[in-house]
Amino acid sequence: MVRVDFNVPLDENFNITDNSRISAALPTINKLISDGAKVILMSHLGRPKGEEEKFSLKHIVNHLSELLNISVSFSENCIGEKTKREVKNLQNGEVLLLENLRFHPEEKKGDLKFSKQLSELADVYVNDAFGTAHRAHSSTAIIAQFFPNNKYFGLLLKNEIDSLEKALRDPKKPFTAIIGGAKISGKIDVITSLLNKVDNLIIGGGMAYTFAKAMGGNIGNSLVENDKVDLAKSIIKKAKEVGVNLLLPTDSVNADDFNSNANITNSKITNVPNGFMGLDIGEESIQLFSDVIQNSKTIIWNGPMGVFEMSDFEKGTKMIGEAICKSTENGAFSLIGGGDSVSAIKKFKMEDKVSYISTGGGAMLEYLEGKELPGVMAIQ
């Protein structure tokens, strides 16, 4: 029984628009098939309220069958007598995908009885769902206790942890972390924790404007978290105290509206004109950040440098991606995670030029913060 993370995006016709999470689970599934196991796959998909058809994992079956090159069968539930019978009918080397675990609210509650019911389907439990490893849900953590001698990491989960360990435990120096994205609030803990580990900490994206405000700048209509201005000041102070080179953008690409027809200006980040909002880092910042990245030996990146989804504001993120690729080519170890940074890497076709792309956003951040992940602890 393998907990996979098949929480993939689907379009309105239920076509999978990005199958990376499914592809990432294939090595474990293929290994079990070739070893002659009867393979039961379980996952969640989206955030269903009850049994919503649009969140059914039946939409995944055909694609999974194609990828595995065998006919995958589907169970309309993940527990119960009918599912048990379907499991019993499985032959060695066959695969059965169970219906969305979150059709049962007990899954997210980490309910013990539900976990036991799931466990009764199998002899061996494998967790290969890094994307949900930071959750203490039934299928990701609680279930493991019913397999005291038969619980394992899948190949993907092992790879994810090994890559994070490589960056955190014994990083080759200089070690540079790049944190971007919309807001500081979701990333305070990781920023604080990284200050004890890295040589360089680069901050970009929307959160940089709160730092610019903390430095006394005028940031126009840029994204700002006024309640985090003091925190930004204390991060700047702490970086000085511990000798970390904190790099903030020095300049900014600004627009007078949040759309592609807006008027665009460039300015110092501390001097964004009134009526404009900063949506990307400017040329000077790109140069500054790229120089540091290209001299680094270990790089982790979470969060874009600007609104990369719009072509006028993609350059900062793209150029930082390019600097990471160059550095990787020269021998650095680079680890990218977080939904938006991974989308950016894909948009710019850089997937094969970085060392490792994580399938987990939240899980990666929590690991970097030094937290124990319930899904990992349950197996250890």
Catalytic residues: 21, 183, 339, 362
Residue whose C-alpha is closest to residue 334's, from 167, 158, 110, 108: 167
Pick out residues in 12-51 that bind ligand AMP (CB under 6 A).
Answer: none
Residue 304 contacts ligand AMP per CB under 6 A: yes
Distance CA 265, CA 150 (A): 60
Dihedrals phi, psi of 102, to nearest 5 degrees:
-80, 5
235: left (phi over 0), alpha (psi -120 to 50) or beta: alpha
Residue 321 contacts ligand AMP per CB under 6 A: no
- What does the radius of gyration of the chain's CA atoms come to, in whole angstroms? 23
Minimum distance from residue 183 beta carbon to ligand AMP (Å): 6
Distance CA 28, CA 4 (A): 10
> In residues, how long is the chain?
380
Residue 279 contacts ligand AMP per CB under 6 A: yes
Judged by CB under 6 A, which stretch of 81-89, 232-240, 301-309, 351-359 contacts ligand AMP? 301-309
Judged by CB under 6 A, which stretch of 57-65, 234-242, 298-306, 370-378 contacts ligand AMP? 298-306
> For residues 304 and 180, is the Cβ–Cβ distance under 8 A?
yes
Judged by CB under 6 A, which stretch of 14-22, 61-69, 135-143, 302-310 contacts ligand AMP? 302-310
Residue 249 contacts ligand AMP per CB under 6 A: no
Q: Which of 134, 340, 360, 379 binds ligand AMP (CB under 6 A)?
A: 340
Beta bridge partners of 73: 96
Q: How many residues bind ligand AMP (CB under 6 A)?
A: 16
Pick out residues in 207-226 that bind ligand AMP (CB under 6 A).
Answer: 223
> For residues 324 and 296, is the Cβ–Cβ distance under 8 A?
no
Pick out residues in 223-242 that bind ligand AMP (CB under 6 A).
Answer: 223
User: x/- string (CB under 6 A) for ligand AMP, residues 165-184?
Assistant: ----------------xxx-
Residue 154 contacts ligand AMP per CB under 6 A: no
Minimum distance from residue 170 beta carbon to ligand AMP (Å): 27
Residue whose C-alpha is closest to residue 141's, from 368, 373, 359: 373
> For residues 77 and 51, is the Cβ–Cβ distance under 8 A?
no
Question: Torsion angle of alpha carbons 50, 53, 56, 60, nearest 10°?
Answer: -160
Interface with ligand AMP (CB under 6 A):
181-183, 186, 205-206, 223, 278-279, 303-304, 306-307, 309, 338, 340
